[in-house]
Structure 1
Amino acid sequence: MSDFITFWHMHAPILSILIPAFTAFSLVLLGNPGSGALEHDPRQPWRRGISFISILLGLATAISYFMMASTGQITVYQLGEWSAPFGIVLVLDRLSAFMVLLTYVLATPVLWFASKEWDARGRYFHVMYHFLLMGVCGAFLTGDLFNLFVFFEVLLLASYVLLLHTQGKARFQLGIHYVTINLLASALFLIGLGMIYGNVGSLNMADVARLVPILEPEQHKLAIAGGLLLFVVFGIKAAMLPVGFWLPKTYAVATTPVAALFTIMTKVGIYAILRVNGTVFDDDFSQAMLQKWLLPIGLVTSLYGVIGAIGADRLRRFIGFMILSSVGTILIAIAMSNTQAWAAALYYLVHSTLIAAAFYLFSGWITSQRGEFKDHLKIAPQMKQEKITSITFLVIALMLAGLPPFSGFWGKVFILQSSAQSAYQGWIIAIILIVSLLSIIALTRVGFVLFWRASRPEDNPKEPAYAVYQALPDRAPARNNQTIYVLLAGLILYVVFAAPIQQYTLATAEQIRDRSLYINQVLKKDREGNVISVASYDPTYLPETKYGGEALDSNAHYIPYIISENSLKGEHISPYKQRQIQQQLNNESVAPTDAQLKPMEP
Structure 2
Amino acid sequence: MTPALDHLAILPIVLPLAVGALMLLFDERRRRLKMTLSLATVFALLAIAVTMVVMVGLPSSDRWSTLIVYPLGNWPPPFGIVLVVDRLAALMLLMTAVLGCTTLLFALARWHTAGPRFHTLFLLLLTGLNGAFLTGDLFNLFVFFEILLAASYGLVLHGSGTARVRAGLHYIPINLVASSLFLVGVAVIYGVTGTLNMADLSRIVPTLPPESRTLMEAGAAVLGIAFLVKAGMWPLSFWLPTTYAAACAPVAAMFAIMTKVGIYVILRLFLLCFGDEAGASEDFGAAWLYYGGMATLLFGGIGVLASQSMQRLGGYSVLISSGTLLAAIGTGNSAVISGALYYLVASTFAISAYFLLVELIERGQAAGADVLAVTLEIFGDPEEDIEDEDEEVGVAIPATIAVLGGGFVACTAVLAGLPPLSGFIGKFAMLSALLNEAGEIPFYHWLFVALLMLSGLATLIAMTRNGIRTLWVPAETDIPRVRAIEAIPVGVLLLLCAVMTFAGGPTMRYMEATAQILYWPSEYARDVLGSQPAGHSTSDSRSSGHGPSGPNPTGATP
Equivalent position to 1:413, from 414, 417, 428: 428
**Contact conserved, 1:224 with 1:281, CA < 8 A, in 2?**
no
**Contact conserved, 2:271 with 2:521, CA < 8 A, in 1?**
no
Equivalent position to 2:297, from 297, 302, 310: 302
- Where do 1:173-188 residues align within 5 Å? 173-188=166-181
Inter-partner Cα distance in structure 2 for 1:479 and 1:473: 18
Name 2:323's counterpart in structure 1: 328
TM superposition score normalised by structure 2? 0.86
Inter-partner Cα distance in structure 1 for 2:241 and 2:288: 23
User: 1:376/1:93 Cα in 2 relative to 1: closer, same or farther (>3 Å)?
Assistant: farther
**Contact conserved, 2:71 with 2:533, CA < 8 A, in 1?**
no
Name 1:493's counterpart in structure 2: 499
1:515 equivalent to 2:521? Answer yes
Inter-partner Cα distance in structure 2 for 1:564 and 1:353: 33
Per-residue deviation, residues 335-375 of structure 1 (Å, max 9, x unmatched)? 11121111111100001110000110111012212133465
Task: Report which stretch shifted further, 436-445 or 120-129.
Answer: 436-445
Name 2:350's counterpart in structure 1: 355
Inter-partner Cα distance in structure 2 for 1:310 and 1:25: 43
- Where do 1:216-295 residues align within 5 Å? 216-282=209-275, 283-295=278-290
- Where do 1:23-42 residues align within 5 Å? 23-32=19-28, 41=29
- Where do 1:568-583 residues align within 5 Å? none
Residue aligned with 1:476, SS: coil
Residue aligned with 1:74, SS: strand
Inter-partner Cα distance in structure 2 for 1:62 and 1:376: 42
User: Aligned partner of 1:130: which letter?
Assistant: L
Name 1:6's counterpart in structure 2: 3
Per-residue deviation, residues 439-478 of structure 1 (Å, max 9, x unmatched)? 22222221232234434x3xxxxxxxxxxx5xx4542256
User: Aligned partner of 1:44: which letter?
Assistant: R
Name 2:89's counterpart in structure 1: 96
Inter-partner Cα distance in structure 2 for 1:59 and 1:221: 43
Percent of residue pairs identical: 40
Name 2:17's counterpart in structure 1: 21
**Contact conserved, 2:16 with 2:127, CA < 8 A, in 1?**
yes
**Contact conserved, 1:278 with 1:287, CA < 8 A, in 2?**
no
Equivalent position to 1:109, from 75, 96, 102: 102
Shift of 1:524: 3.3
**Contact conserved, 1:377 with 1:446, CA < 8 A, in 2?**
no
**Contact conserved, 1:368 with 1:477, CA < 8 A, in 2?**
no
User: Aligned partner of 1:8: which letter?
Assistant: L
Per-residue deviation, residues 167-193 of structure 1 (Å, max 9, x unmatched)? 112211210211100000000000001
Inter-partner Cα distance in structure 1 for 2:369 and 2:152: 24
Task: Report which stretch shifted further, 265-274 or 415-424.
Answer: 415-424
Equivalent position to 1:129, from 122, 132, 136: 122
Inter-partner Cα distance in structure 1 for 2:496 and 2:97: 13
- Residue-pair matches, total: 502
Task: Report which stretch shifted further, 212-221 or 282-291.
Answer: 282-291
**Contact conserved, 2:50 with 2:94, CA < 8 A, in 1?**
yes
Residue aligned with 2:25, SS: helix
Inter-partner Cα distance in structure 2 for 1:233 and 1:287: 21
Inter-partner Cα distance in structure 2 for 1:79 and 1:292: 37
Structure 1 unaligned regions, length at least 5: 33-40, 458-468, 526-561, 566-602
Inter-partner Cα distance in structure 2 for 1:496 and 1:357: 21
Name 2:364's counterpart in structure 1: 369
**Contact conserved, 1:368 with 1:374, CA < 8 A, in 2?**
no
Name 1:192's counterpart in structure 2: 185
Equivalent position to 2:407, from 375, 392, 396: 392
Shift of 1:492: 0.4
**Contact conserved, 1:231 with 1:277, CA < 8 A, in 2?**
no
Residue aligned with 1:378, SS: helix
Name 1:433's counterpart in structure 2: 453
User: Aligned partner of 2:468: which letter?
Assistant: F
1:166 equivalent to 2:159? Answer yes
Per-residue deviation, residues 280-332 of structure 1 (Å, max 9, x unmatched)? 33325544332221111111111210111111111100110111011111112
User: 1:212/1:403 Cα in 2 relative to 1: closer, same or farther (>3 Å)?
Assistant: same
Inter-partner Cα distance in structure 2 for 1:363 and 1:564: 45
User: Aligned partner of 1:360: which letter?
Assistant: F
Name 1:52's counterpart in structure 2: 39
| More contact order relative to length (CA 8 Å, sep ≥ 6) | 2
Which of the two has higher C-alpha Rg? 1
User: 1:377/1:185 Cα in 2 relative to 1: closer, same or farther (>3 Å)?
Assistant: farther
Name 1:578's counterpart in structure 2: none
User: Aligned partner of 2:165: which letter?
Assistant: F
**Contact conserved, 2:292 with 2:323, CA < 8 A, in 1?**
yes
**Contact conserved, 1:291 with 1:337, CA < 8 A, in 2?**
yes
Task: Report which stretch shifted further, 317-326 or 436-445.
Answer: 436-445
**Contact conserved, 2:109 with 2:483, CA < 8 A, in 1?**
no
Per-residue deviation, residues 11-33 of structure 1 (Å, max 9, x unmatched)? 1211110111111011112233x
Residue aligned with 2:482, SS: coil
User: Aligned partner of 2:520: which letter?
Assistant: D
**Contact conserved, 1:377 with 1:450, CA < 8 A, in 2?**
no
Q: What is the Cα-based RMSD across aligned positions, in Å?
A: 2.1
TM superposition score normalised by structure 1? 0.80
Name 1:483's counterpart in structure 2: 489
Name 1:61's counterpart in structure 2: 48
Per-residue deviation, residues 362-410 of structure 1 (Å, max 9, x unmatched)? 1101221213346557269999643333222222211211101111100
Shift of 1:261: 0.6
Task: Report which stretch shifted further, 431-440 or 296-305.
Answer: 431-440
Inter-partner Cα distance in structure 2 for 1:257 and 1:349: 19
Name 1:448's counterpart in structure 2: 468
**Contact conserved, 1:333 with 1:415, CA < 8 A, in 2?**
yes
Residue aligned with 1:300, SS: helix
- Where do 1:144-163 residues align within 5 Å? 144-163=137-156
Task: Report which stretch shifted further, 436-445 or 332-341.
Answer: 436-445
**Contact conserved, 1:368 with 1:476, CA < 8 A, in 2?**
no
User: 1:518/1:27 Cα in 2 relative to 1: closer, same or farther (>3 Å)?
Assistant: same
**Contact conserved, 2:118 with 2:155, CA < 8 A, in 1?**
yes
Inter-partner Cα distance in structure 2 for 1:388 and 1:515: 47
1:340 equivalent to 2:335? Answer yes
Per-residue deviation, residues 507-549 of structure 1 (Å, max 9, x unmatched)? 1111111011111111139xxxxxxxxxxxxxxxxxxxxxxxx
User: Aligned partner of 2:212: which letter?
Assistant: Q
